[in-house]
Amino acid sequence: MTDSNWPLYEVFVRSRNGLSHKHVGSLHAADDEMALEAARDLYTRRSEGVSLWVVPSAAITASQSADRDPFFEPAQDKIYRHPTFYELPDEVKHM
Amino acid sequence: MSRDDTRQALAEYALRLGDNSLILGQRLSEWCSHAPQLEEDVALINIALDLVGQARALLSYAGELEGRGRGEDELAFLRDVREWRNLLLVEQPNGDFARTIARQLLFDCYAFELYRALSDSTDSQLAAIAAKSLKEVSYHRRHSVEWTLRLGDGTDESHRRMQAAIDDLWPYTGELFEADAVDAALIAAGIAPDPAELRAAWQASVSQVLARATLAQPESMGLLSGGRSGLHSEHLGHLLAEMQWLQRAYPGLQW
């Protein structure tokens, strides 16, 4: 395979109606339309999906691993943000 | 025409279609691990596998109609070059990527019109095979159209290569629309469409794609033909040698 200067795309597949699109991988393609076709060929050939999204990887803004503590650490001790923190009265049904 | 004559005509017709699919599928599979891009490698092999799948259905049906006990494997692996009925276009070598795409464009646009018409065939088995194939061929056509647009309207080099490929392969396109006694019998029975009627739609879609791709359409319709009577270009024998050697060397081998 030769080296490619084609841009990278991220591929999202919806496996069934009603479910959300899920990231499945990436690919190189010359443009958006070709990326969609390549995604079809690479990621749905075993009936994995009913809908596809392709997004230029460059369009994604990602968190940095250096930011992990300020981003994610403060959530660790906020147990009251989980519903299991609260005790429900016995009278409340179907929660 | 007797029922048996129609049956034999249909056997021959199914053989022609099956041979087109199998030879083109075999040709495309030569790209496996050689395509310009990993993504395109998978795309081409997907198409090749679709074509081989169509060939299996068509050759099985041809063998059944023929009634001489030949199945898909006997037809695929034990026929000599003169017994093959495919169009000359599909046996042409892959060449560069542009040439492969040009061959696909010319064939896919034809196969799309053909299978669309055959979906309404009075022969239910053929109609079912055509309806299934039409979905696959619609995607093949989309793939070859998109590439033709990008190569034709791309760089100077891609344009030059794409134009050369169209020019070289154009002479084989006349054969797509030839009709003989087999076609006449099946047209009369409502089993197959008149190739002449497919031609206008094929011409319209190919012309439109070439224009959008800034490619010139060659002037005259090519008239190289002979595939249906077993008169093939020198390329087919080499292709068959590679495709058939295992069954020839070890008859009946399974894996």
Nearest to B127 by CA among B58, B72, B71, B179: B58
Are residues B42 and A41, on separate chains, in Cβ contact within 8 Å? yes
pLDDT at residue A3 is higher than 80? no
Q: How far is CA B3 from the centre of its chain?
A: 28
> What domains are there in chain B, each with its CATH number?
3-249 (1.20.1260.10)
* Opening angle at CA A34, ends A29 and A36, nearest 5: 100
Sign of CA dihedral A71, A77, A83, A84: positive
Instruction: Determine the distance in angstroms separating the CA of B140 from the nearest CA of chain A, rounded to an integer.
Output: 11
Are residues B46 and A45, on separate chains, in Cβ contact within 8 Å? yes
* A7 vs B contacts (CB less than 8 Å): none
Q: Which one of A9, A26, A27, A37 would you mutate to disrupt binding with B, by most B Cβ within 10 Å of its Cβ?
A: A37
pLDDT at residue A1 is higher than 70? no
Q: pTM for the whole thing?
A: 0.90
Cβ-contact B230, B82 below 8 angstroms: yes
Are residues A41 and B36, on separate chains, in Cβ contact within 8 Å? no
Give me the pLDDT at residue B213, please.
Answer: 98
The predicted model gives A24-39 an average pLDDT of 96
* Opening angle at CA B76, ends B75 and B82, nearest 5: 75
C-alpha B61/C-alpha B133 separation (Å) is 14
Checking phi first, is residue B230 left (phi over 0); if not, alpha (psi -120 to 50) or beta?
Answer: left
Alpha-carbon distances of B48 from A18, B140, B172, rounded to whole Å: 33, 10, 21
- Three-class SS state of A56: strand
Give me the pLDDT at residue B179, please.
Answer: 94
Are residues B43 and A38, on separate chains, in Cβ contact within 8 Å? yes
Give me the pLDDT at residue B97, please.
Answer: 97
What are A's interface residues with B at a Cβ cutoff of 8 A? 1-2, 4, 6, 27-31, 33-34, 37-38, 40-42, 45
Give me the pLDDT at residue B220, please.
Answer: 78
Give me the pLDDT at residue B1, please.
Answer: 66
Q: Give every residue of chain B whose pLDDT is below 50, as ranges.
A: none
